[in-house]
Every structure is written in C-alpha cells, then in structure tokens.
Amino acid sequence: MMRFEVICRALVLVSLCLVGLAGCEQPQTPEEALEALIQAVYTNDGKSAWEYLPQEEQKILSAKADKINAKAGDKGAVEPHELISSSGFVAPYAIARIERTDEQAINDGLLKVKVHTQDKKEIPVLMLNQSGGWKVSIGLYYDTDGNVRKTP
C-alpha cells in the first residue's frame, strides 16, 4: 500500500513538472512567434498556427468559415483554422534569418520584421503584441505597415 502512495505522489510531481514545462515552450520573442507560426503552417497544424494570428484576423477567418459552412449545409463543416493556407508562406528550412527593422516599435506593440530567405528574398512581416504574446499578421486585416486594410 505504501508503495502505491509513493508511485502516485511521483506521478503527480511528474505531471506538475510537465505542465510547468509546457508553459515554458511558448515563444517569448517576435522571432520565435514567427518561426512557430511558419512551422505550424508548414506541418499543416492549423490549430497551433491559429494561436499566432491577431484577433482581428481570427475574426475574419471565422466569418469566412461561417459563410462556407452556411453554403455547404450537410456536406461538412470547415473550422476557421483550416483556412490558414501554406500558400505564400516560406518553408522553415528556407529562412536564412529574421531581422527586426525598428527596435523602438517593439515597445509600442507593433513591430516590422524582414524574413531573409536562402534565395536572397526579403519578405516584410508585421508583428503585434496582443493578449500577452506576439502575433503574426498574415495580411488579412493589416498591411505590412500596420495600416488597417479595407475589409469586405
């Protein structure tokens, strides 16, 4: 009986450690958030990618999914995160480096970065600090200068 109690306590401690470590894996820098989004899209993990989108862009994708589902009827439902497409995203292995273009902007919660690829392309990306973490605009609501796009 005593051995069972020791095993249970050990399992509880291991579980608590794993929960604590899971929180440590959240990206802390804009670059880490961008890399995490790119990796999630590349591996077709829409649920993880969803967490890195700004709230405004999540709302746009949710509205698009609602329209698709209304037209589809019984044919099946699409989840908003399933609309995040890999087209237009750079593959993780193609990234040479990520460069911040304005260090001061990081304090304002809006940051422009450039993704430099192995084939010498520069891709501008807008980052926003929302809900306690860095989010990556995929151009649905914001342009790369942080201006709001006209939405339908």
Instruction: In whole angstroms, give the CA distance from residue 57 to residue 142.
Output: 8
Residue with tokens 């192995």: 118
109-149 per-position pLDDT tens digit: 888 899 999 999 999 999 999 988 999 999 888 877 777 77
112 vs 2: which has the higher pLDDT: 112
Helical H runs in 43-108?
46-50, 55-72, 105-108
> What integer pLDDT is reported at residue 12 of this predicted model?
35
Q: What pLDDT score does 107 carry?
A: 64
Q: Summarize the confidence of residues 54-83 as an average pLDDT.
A: 89
% residues pLDDT > 90 (the chain): 41
Confidence (pLDDT) at 134: 93
pLDDT higher at 9 or 48:
48
CA 70 to chain centre: 27
The per-residue pLDDT for 105 is 66
pLDDT at 65 exceeding the cut of 60: yes
Torsion angle of the four alpha carbons 152, 51, 112, 87, in this order, in degrees rounded to the nearest 10: -60
Q: Is the pLDDT of residue 8 over 70?
A: no
Average pLDDT over residues 49-75: 91
